[in-house]
Amino acid sequence: MRILVVEDDQQVAKQVASSLKHAGYVTDVAHDGEEGHFLGDTETYDAVVLDLGLPIMNGLSVLEQWRRDGRQMPVLILSARDTWREKVAGLRAGADDYLAKPFEPEEMLARVETLIRRATGNINPVLECGPITLDKSINRISLNGVPEKLTDFEFRMMSYMMHHQRRVISKTEFIDHIYAQDFDRDSNTIEVLISRLRKKFGSDFIKTYRGQGYCLSDPENAPQDS
């Protein structure tokens, strides 16, 4: 899962990005509103953490422009502006949640996790697919109750599939959601990651749809081949 952090304070941006990365998210950072707007407009994100007091283009304007342009990624405003009027203005501009500074990193992570679950149609905090479970509160993927040791990229791919179960995901979509903006992206790596995950979780749980992509699903409830 890929997150954009738009924050002009270098220390706060570093703290937020570090917390997100530790929780298994791939993170891009912008330090002014113009760059943040551009990234949110041209890249694909599962959520955005957005400050309001940004140079060049303020956060409220960035958010309003995204929504006018049809950008639907969930947005958590993270701002020192904590009056009820400013919170209302942020929510009415299109934010999905609002967290005032100073903040606890765990609360910020919990809010981001909730926004992503809601955006992907998942209600329960622990996602399940047959014997596979994803518990983001402890950043763990298990098989039959036993935690699996995964590399960062394996975890990102499995997490993305767990959030989008029974949907065929293309290589391009994986690339957009598990790699940072400045990473050297290679579609062949997707096949390697899929192969590794099948060895750990079983080939029956990751199906190939030729010319379309891959799908993680409980074999009993798997989508039908087209």
47 HSE (CA, 13 A, CB side): 26
State phi, psi for 146 to the nearest 5 degrees: -105, 120
Output the tens digit of pLDDT for each of the chain's 226 residues. 899 999 999 999 999 999 999 998 999 999 999 999 999 999 999 999 999 999 999 999 999 999 999 999 999 999 988 889 999 999 999 999 999 999 999 999 999 999 999 999 988 889 998 899 999 888 899 999 999 999 999 999 999 999 998 889 999 999 999 887 766 666 678 999 999 999 999 888 898 888 899 998 764 554 544 3
Q: Which residue has the tokens 């006018």?
A: 68
**pTM of the prediction?**
0.87
Question: What domains does the chain contain, in order, with CATH numbers?
Answer: 2-119 (3.40.50.2300), 126-221 (1.10.10.10)
State phi, psi for 68 to the nearest 5 degrees: -65, -35
Q: Which residue has the tokens 């220390």?
A: 11
Q: Which long-range contacts does 179-184 make (Cβ < 8 Å, 24+ apart)?
A: 179/2, 179/26, 180/2, 180/26, 180/27, 180/28, 181/28, 181/39, 181/43, 182/28
Buried b (16+ CB within 10 A) or exposed e, 127-152: bebbebbbebeeeebbeeeeebebee
Please answer whether residues 7 and 35 qualify as being in contact, where contact means their C-beta atoms are separated by less than 8 angstroms: no
